[in-house]
């Protein structure tokens, strides 16, 4: 059997003199002076509603709105845990840290900024010079461009 209870709000002076709390106390006092609605919901429903309202709302950055494949690509580029030669060489799983272009170690920065083998692809995706910070930590559109560039290049991360 469902148990119902009536709840009446009462203003209790607390935290007086603390900035921010004064306004909350004033609003609570105003609310307690008014008529309380006769609301026939259970005590459990009320506590669930209050707890849900008090839960922290997490603010998601643009990375969290990417699809799963894009998130994996960006995450691996950001953290350095990827199948690029520079990382695999450290793990003794690649013969050399060098990129197949032969100019430098195969790192995310090299591929996204300097590698001559990907120059045409980079220019198609980013017609204007774009920094590595923007490519790895920018807005969703930039992150999608980065993931697309890596995907189209056929790189395994």
Note down pLDDT in tens along the chain; length 157 residues: 556 666 666 656 555 666 667 777 777 788 778 777 676 778 888 888 888 877 766 677 889 899 999 999 999 999 888 889 999 999 999 999 999 999 999 999 999 999 999 999 999 999 999 999 999 999 999 999 999 999 988 887 7
| Residues 6 or more apart in contact with residue 157 via CB below 8 angstroms | 72, 73, 76, 77, 82, 83, 84, 150
Gap between the Cα atoms of 97 and 99, Å rounded = 7
Residue 86: the pLDDT is 92
Residue 27: the pLDDT is 77
Residue 54: the pLDDT is 77
Q: Do 73 and 146 meet the contact criterion of CB atoms below 8 Å apart? A: yes
Outline where 97-139 has alpha helix (H): 108-109, 119-125, 132-137
Residue 2: the pLDDT is 58
Residue 21: the pLDDT is 72
Torsion of CA 33, 38, 44, 50, to 10 degrees: -40
- Long-range (24+ apart) CB contacts under 8 A made by 6-9 are 6/38, 7/36, 7/46, 8/32, 8/36, 9/36
Nearest to 87 by CA among 66, 63, 110: 110
Nearest to 6 by CA among 31, 33, 49, 37: 37
């Amino acid at each position: 059997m469902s148990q119902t209870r009536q709840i009446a709000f009462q203003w209790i002076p607390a935290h007086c003199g603390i900035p921010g709390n004064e306004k909350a106390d004033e609003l609570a006092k105003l609310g307690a002076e008014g008529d309380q609605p006769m609301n026939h919901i259970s005590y459990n429903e009320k506590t669930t509603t209050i707890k849900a309202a008090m839960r922290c709302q997490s603010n998601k950055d643009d990375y969290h709105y990417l699809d799963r494949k894009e998130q994996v690509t960006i995450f691996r580029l950001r953290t350095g845990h990827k199948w690029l030669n520079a990382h695999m060489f450290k793990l003794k799983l690649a013969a050399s840290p060098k990129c197949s272009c032969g100019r430098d170690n195969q790192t995310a920065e090299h591929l996204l900024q300097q590698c001559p083998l990907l120059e045409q692809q980079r220019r198609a995706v980013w017609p204007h010079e774009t920094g590595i910070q923007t490519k790895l930590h920018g807005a969703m559109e930039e992150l999608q461009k980065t993931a697309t560039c890596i995907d189209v290049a056929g790189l395994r991360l």
